[in-house]
C-alpha cells in the first residue's frame, strides 16, 4: 500500500476526528498529561501541528487551560486520562466554572459496559455523572460520527453567555472507531458565532442611565468579567468621559493603569460605604465585595444594606439580586452594554460633584503617602514591602509582563503594592481564593501571550504546583518565579506547643533553598536575601528570558494569619 503523505486517507478514526474538530474551530493548543487511553491522541495532535503542552499533574494542566480561556476568549483544552487523572483535572474545571473562564476538560474513560455494571474496570468511574454538578455542561460521545457535534456543543457551552467549564467524556473505545473519511469530514462542525453578542434592551439602558444621572457619589466597580470581555477602550472611555471614580477588583487591575487619577483603589474602605450609586461591570457581589452589604458598605450591622443603589452589567440574567436588590440590571455582553451607556454619556454628562472627588482624592493620597513611607524602609531581613517595592518597579518598567500571584500575605500585599498598567496582566487566586493555580497559569500565560511572566508566590502556595518548574524548563518559557520564603504557611514562627519533635502545622523547613529545585532541570536559581539581589535577579531573568526561580528570603515573622481575610478564619479570630 502506498503510504506517502499526499495519499488521500480513505478512512478516518476517533483520534483524528477529535483533532480535526478542534483544529477546525481554531483550537491549536492542548494542555495535557498523557496516559491510557489518550497517549496516542497527544502524539497525533502534535503530529497534526497542534501544540501539546504536557504537565506533571493534571490540575496544573487544567489551570493552564482555564487561564488560556480567560486570556483568549477561546475555550482552553485540558486532556486527561480516566478516573484519577480526570479527578485531578476536575478541580481546575470547577475553579474555571466558578471564575467564569471558558475551558473544556476532555477525559478518556473506561469501558462503558463495565463501568455501568460496576464490574471493576481499570480506572472505573462514572466520570460524566461526577463532573455534571461541578461544571456548566457535560457531554459524552459514544460514536465517532458524533465527535463533531460533541466538540461543537462543548465549545458553545464554554464560551457563550457566562463562560465556564465544560466536561467532555470520550470512552477509550471511541478513539479507534473508524469511519469513511468523507463522512467523517462532513460530520465536523465549525461553530458559527460561538459567543454571540447580547445587546441590552433599550429600556434597561435608559433605566441605568437615569439612575446614574441621579447619583451624587457614583462609583464604578470593574471585575474580571470586564477584563475578560476585551472591551478595554470603551470601558476606559466610559470612565473618563463620565469622570466617575472606579475600583478595580483584583484581576481587573490594569484595565486602566492603576496610577489613573480616577482609580479609587487606595480609598477602598472609604468609597464603598460612601457611594450612593454603584455600577458593577463584570463583578459579582460575592464575598470579595462583602455581598454588597454590612459594614464594608456602611450598613449598621453585619448583614444590613448600606443604602446603595446598584446598576449591574452582566451577561447572566440570573446574577442580579443574588445578594442585595439591583435597581438597574443591565443584561448583555459587557462590550454592548458599555457602548450603549457610552452613547448616553456624551459631552453634556454632568461630572460627579467635586466634593465627592476631592474627598476620595484626600483619602487616596493619604494611603498612597503612607504606603510610600513603608516602601522606602529597608529592613533586614527583607519583609513583604521591601521585596515588593522591587517587583513594583520591575512591573513599571515592564508593563507588558504578566503577573501571576498566589498566597495569603504574598497575594494581599502584592495586590495593593504592585501597580498594573495594562489589561489582563494580573492573574491570581480568583473567586475561590484558591492555592495551586501558580505554575499552570505561568505556563499558559507565557505560551498564549509570548510575554514575560513573573510569578509572585507564597512559599506555601508554590508547593501546590511546584513540580511544574520542570515543565517551564522543558518548554523553555520566559517565566521568573519569585518565592517569598518566610518558612511557613502565613509565617514561619509557629512552634509545636507540646515540645515534641513534629513541627507546627504551619511551619516548613527553615531556610529551604527553593532555588536549587529549578537547577535540577537546567533553569536559573537565585538566592536573594536583599532587595538589591532580588532586583538584579529579576532584571537578569527578564533580559535573558530564561526560566528562573528566585528564593527571596523574607523575615519569618512577617505576615498575618490568612492575610487580609483573617476574619474568615474562626480560630485565628479567637487568637
* Residues in touch with ligand ADP (CB under 6 A): 99-100, 162-163, 223-225, 228-229, 249, 251-252, 282-284, 286, 288, 314-316, 319, 333-334, 431
Closest CB to ligand FYN among 86 and 246?
A: 246
Measured from the CB atom, the residue of 86 and 101 that comes closer to ligand ADP is 101
Identify whether the C-beta of residue 286 lies closer than 8 Å to the C-beta of residue 98.
no
Give 16 or 426: the residue with its C-beta nearer to ligand ADP: 426
Cell (9 digits) for 99: 471564575
Sign of the torsion formed by the C-alpha atoms of 144, 146, 152 and 157: negative
Residue 533 Cβ vs ligand FYN, minimum distance, rounded to whole Å = 25
Residue 417 Cβ vs ligand FYN, minimum distance, rounded to whole Å: 7
Which does residue 374 bind out of ligand FYN, ligand ADP, none, counting CB within 5 to 8 angstroms by kind? none
Cβ-based neighbours of 370, under 8 Å, separated by 6 or more: none
C-beta of residue 95 within 8 angstroms of C-beta of residue 432: yes
Could you give the CA distance from residue 348 to residue 213 in angstroms, rounded to a whole number? 11
Question: What CA–CA distance (Å, rounded) separates 213 from 235?
Answer: 18
Q: Which does 282 bind (CB under 5 to 8 A by kind): ligand ADP, ligand FYN, none?
A: ligand ADP
Taking the least distance from each CB to ligand FYN, the nearer of 333 and 412 is 412
CA 279 to CA 235: how far, in whole Å? 12
338, interface contact from ligand FYN, ligand ADP, none, CB < 5-8 Å by kind: none
Tell me which H or E stretch contains 67. Answer: helix 58-72
Q: Judged by CB, which is closer to ligand FYN: 178, or 367?
A: 367
Q: List the single partner that 457 binds among ligand FYN, ligand ADP, none, CB under 5 to 8 Å by kind.
A: none
Say how far apart CA 208 and CA 556 lie, in whole Å. 50
**Binds 265: which of ligand FYN, ligand ADP, none (CB < 5-8 Å by kind):** ligand FYN
Q: Which residue is nearest to ligand FYN (CB)?
A: 433
* Three cell numbers written together for 212: 446614574
Q: What are phi and psi of 319, to 5 degrees?
A: -75, -45
Of the pair 320, 407, the CB lying nearest ligand FYN is at 407
Task: Tell the smallest beta-carbon distance from residue 300 to ligand FYN (Å).
Answer: 19
- Which position has the grid cell 470601558? 235
- Tell me phi and psi for residue 222, to 5 degrees: -100, 125
- Alpha-carbon distance 423 to 403, whole Å? 11
Nearest approach, Cβ of residue 458 and ligand FYN (Å): 8
Write the DSSP assignment of 377-407 as a string of letters: ---SSB-HHHHHHHHHHHHHH-TTSEEEEES
Nearest-CA neighbor of 198 among 148, 159, 240, 245? Answer: 159
Residue 228 interaction partner, one of ligand FYN, ligand ADP, none, beta carbon < 5-8 Å per kind: ligand ADP
The residue number whose beta carbon is nearest to ligand ADP equals 225
Residue 429 near which of ligand ADP, ligand FYN, none (CB within 5-8 Å, type-dependent): ligand FYN
Q: How far is the CB of 255 from ligand FYN (least distance, A)?
A: 15
565 binding partner (options ligand FYN, ligand ADP, none; Cβ < 5 to 8 Å by kind):
ligand FYN
Using the minimum distance from each CB to ligand ADP, give the nearer residue, 89 or 223: 223
Is 109 or 308 the residue whose CB approaches ligand FYN more closely?
A: 308
| Residue 19 interacting entry, from ligand FYN, ligand ADP, none, C-beta within 5 to 8 Å by type | none
Instruction: Give min distance, CB of 563 to ligand FYN, in A.
Output: 6
Which strands make up the sheet holding 328-331, listed edge to edge? 246-248, 218-222, 277-281, 309-314, 328-331
Euclidean distance between CA atoms 477 and 7, whole angstroms: 37
Which is nearer to ligand FYN, 129 or 368 (by Cβ)? 368
What Å distances lie between residue 398 and 425, 439, 449, 540, 554, CA to CA? 11, 20, 14, 13, 24
Secondary structure (DSSP) of 446-491: HHHH-S-EEEEEEHHHHHTTGGGHHHHHHTT--EEEEEEE-SBSS-
- Minimum CB separation from ligand ADP for residue 424, in Å? 12
Least distance in Å: CB of 430 to ligand ADP? 7
Query: Cell numbers of 103, please?
Result: 475551558
Q: In the structure grid, which three cell numbers stand for residue 503, read together?
A: 513541627
266 binds, among ligand FYN, ligand ADP, none (CB under 5 to 8 A by kind): ligand FYN
Rank residues 148 and 440 by Cβ distance to ligand FYN and give the closer one: 440
Binding residues for ligand FYN, per CB under 6 A?
250, 265-269, 288, 367-368, 371, 408, 411-412, 415-416, 429, 433, 562-565
Residue closer to ligand FYN by CB (options 56, 564) is: 564
Min dist CB 323 to ligand FYN, Å, is 14
> How near is the Cβ of 368 to ligand FYN at its closest, in Å?
5
Amino acid at each position: 500500500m502506498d503510504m506517502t503523505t499526499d495519499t488521500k486517507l480513505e478512512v478516518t478514526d476517533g483520534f483524528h476526528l477529535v483533532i480535526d474538530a478542534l483544529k477546525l474551530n481554531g483550537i491549536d493548543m492542548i494542555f495535557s498529561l498523557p496516559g491510557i487511553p489518550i497517549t496516542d491522541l497527544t502524539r497525533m495532535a502534535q503530529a497534526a501541528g497542534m501544540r501539546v503542552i504536557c504537565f506533571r499533574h493534571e490540575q496544573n494542566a487544567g489551570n493552564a487551560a482555564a487561564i488560556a480561556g480567560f486570556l483568549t476568549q477561546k475555550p482552553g483544552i485540558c486532556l486527561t486520562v480516566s478516573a484519577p487523572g480526570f479527578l485531578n483535572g476536575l478541580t481546575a474545571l470547577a475553579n474555571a466554572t466558578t471564575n467564569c473562564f471558558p475551558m473544556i476538560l476532555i477525559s478518556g474513560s473506561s469501558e462503558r459496559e463495565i463501568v455501568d455494571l460496576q464490574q471493576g474496570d481499570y480506572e472505573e468511574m462514572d466520570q460524566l455523572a461526577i463532573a455534571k454538578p461541578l461544571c456548566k455542561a457535560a457531554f459524552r460521545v459514544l460514536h465517532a460520527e458524533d465527535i463533531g457535534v460533541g466538540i461543537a456543543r462543548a465549545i458553545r457551552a464554554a464560551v457563550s453567555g457566562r463562560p465556564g467549564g465544560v466536561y467532555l467524556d470520550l470512552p477509550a473505545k471511541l478513539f479507534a472507531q473508524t469511519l469513511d473519511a468523507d463522512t467523517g469530514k462532513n460530520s465536523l462542525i465549525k461553530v458559527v458565532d460561538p459567543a454571540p453578542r447580547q445587546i441590552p434592551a433599550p429600556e434597561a439602558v435608559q433605566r441605568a442611565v437615569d439612575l446614574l444621572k441621579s447619583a451624587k457619589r457614583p462609583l464604578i466597580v470593574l471585575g474580571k468579567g470586564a477584563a475578560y470581555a476585551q472591551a478595554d477602550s470603551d470601558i476606559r472611555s466610559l470612565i473618563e468621559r463620565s469622570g466617575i471614580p472606579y475600583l478595580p477588583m483584583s484581576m481587573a487591575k490594569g484595565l486602566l493603569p492603576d496610577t489613573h487619577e480616577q482609580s479609587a483603589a487606595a480609598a477602598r474602605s472609604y468609597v464603598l460605604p460612601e457611594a450612593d450609586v454603584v455600577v458593577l461591570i463584570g463583578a459579582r457581589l460575592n464575598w470579595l465585595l462583602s455581598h454588597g452589604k454590612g459594614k464594608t458598605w456602611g450598613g449598621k450591622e453585619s448583614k444590613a444594606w448600606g443604602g446603595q443603589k446598584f446598576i449591574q452589567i452582566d451577561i447572566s440574567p440570573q446574577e442580579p439580586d443574588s445578594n442585595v436588590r439591583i435597581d438597574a440590571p443591565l443584561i448583555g455582553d459587557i462590550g454592548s452594554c458599555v457602548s450603549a451607556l457610552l452613547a448616553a454619556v456624551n459631552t453634556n454628562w454632568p461630572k460627579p460633584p467635586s466634593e465627592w472627588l476631592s474627598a476620595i482624592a484626600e483619602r487616596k493620597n493619604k494611603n498612597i503617602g503612607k504606603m510610600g513611607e513603608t516602601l522606602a524602609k529597608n529592613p533586614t531581613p527583607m519583609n513583604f514591602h521591601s521585596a515588593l517595592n522591587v517587583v513594583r518597579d520591575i512591573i513599571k518598567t515592564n508593563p507588558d509582563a504578566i503577573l501571576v500571584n498566589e498566597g495569603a500575605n504574598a497575594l494581599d500585599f502584592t495586590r495593593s503594592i504592585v501597580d498594573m498598567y495594562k489589561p489582563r496582566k494580573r492573574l491570581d487566586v480568583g473567586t475561590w481564593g484558591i492555592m495551586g493555580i501558580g505554575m499552570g497559569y505561568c505556563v499558559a500565560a507565557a505560551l498564549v501571550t509570548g510575554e514575560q511572566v513573573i510569578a509572585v508566590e507564597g512559599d506555601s502556595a508554590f508547593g501546590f504546583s511546584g513540580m511544574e518548574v520542570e515543565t517551564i524548563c522543558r518548554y523553555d518559557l520566559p517565566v521568573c518565579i519569585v518565592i517569598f520564603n518566610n518558612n511557613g504557611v502565613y509565617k514561619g514562627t509557629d512552634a509545636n506547643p507540646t515540645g515534641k519533635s513534629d513541627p507546627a502545622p504551619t511551619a516548613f523547613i527553615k531556610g529551604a533553598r527553593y532555588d536549587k529545585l529549578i537547577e535540577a532541570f537546567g533553569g536559573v536559581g537565585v538566592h536573594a536575601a536583599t532587595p538589591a539581589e532580588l532586583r538584579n535577579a529579576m532584571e537578569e531573568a527578564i533580559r535573558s528570558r530564561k526560566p528562573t526561580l528566585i528564593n527571596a528570603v523574607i523575615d519569618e515573622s512577617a505576615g498575618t494569619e490568612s492575610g487580609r481575610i483573617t476574619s474568615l478564619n474562626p480560630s485565628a479570630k479567637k487568637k
